[in-house]
Amino acid sequence: MDDQLILVDLNDRPTGAGEKLWTHQNDRLHRAFSVFVVWENKMLLQRRARDKYHSGGLWANACCSHPRVGEDLEQAVSRRLREELGIQNAPAEELFSFVYRTDFGELTEFEYDHVLLARYGGAIAPDPEEIEETRWTDLSELKQDILERPGAYASWFLIAAPKVLDFLET
């Protein structure tokens, strides 16, 4: 966890930088992104690897990460889709952003999260250090599962997914 993350204010203006672990130990607001991948009325979900530093074993959207200092959002999204899932050439459009904070013991996720949507139906190659498993889930089944089993999903996913699903229905 030696990445230098971009610390931001509540308007997503950079205020400095912080090493990834330090940023999460010290409850600092930082820039992040969540990519939702859809294809033919299905959403790609990942179950986070159980040994992740937080939210291990929980289901989430296809890809989540942080831009590094000196890297713009588009570059970071492209890099992480390639690293985590082997996805290349899947342009993502930003839908919205939000700020959230969740405690995980001695670590805190306090993020200005940019939510993006990519439409992609090709092959994937999940990184087993990041992802325990993946699944394509029908959008209507996903809505029902979120209502019935919210504890199976990561905290940021529960905030962002309803808005993404609403966008996809309009």
| Residues written for the chain | 170
Catalytic, out of 64, 84, 109, 132: 64
Q: At what angle do helices 139-148 and 155-169 cross, to 10 degrees?
A: 140
For residue 111, indicate whether it is catalytic: yes
| Residue 162: domain span | 4-169
The terminus-to-terminus CA distance of the chain in angstroms comes to: 39
Number of structural domains (the chain) is 1
Q: Pick the catalytic residue from 63, 84, 109, 111.
A: 111
Instruction: Report pTM.
Output: 0.94
Cβ–Cβ contacts within 10 Å for residue 160, how many?
A: 23
Q: What pLDDT is recorded for position 64?
A: 94
- Measured between alpha carbons, how far is 131 from 116 in angstroms, rounded to an integer? 19
Task: Tell me the pLDDT tens digit for each residue of 90-136.
Answer: 999 999 999 999 998 889 999 999 999 999 999 999 999 999 999 99
Amino acid 56: pLDDT: 82
- For residue 105, give the CATH number of its domain: 3.90.79.10
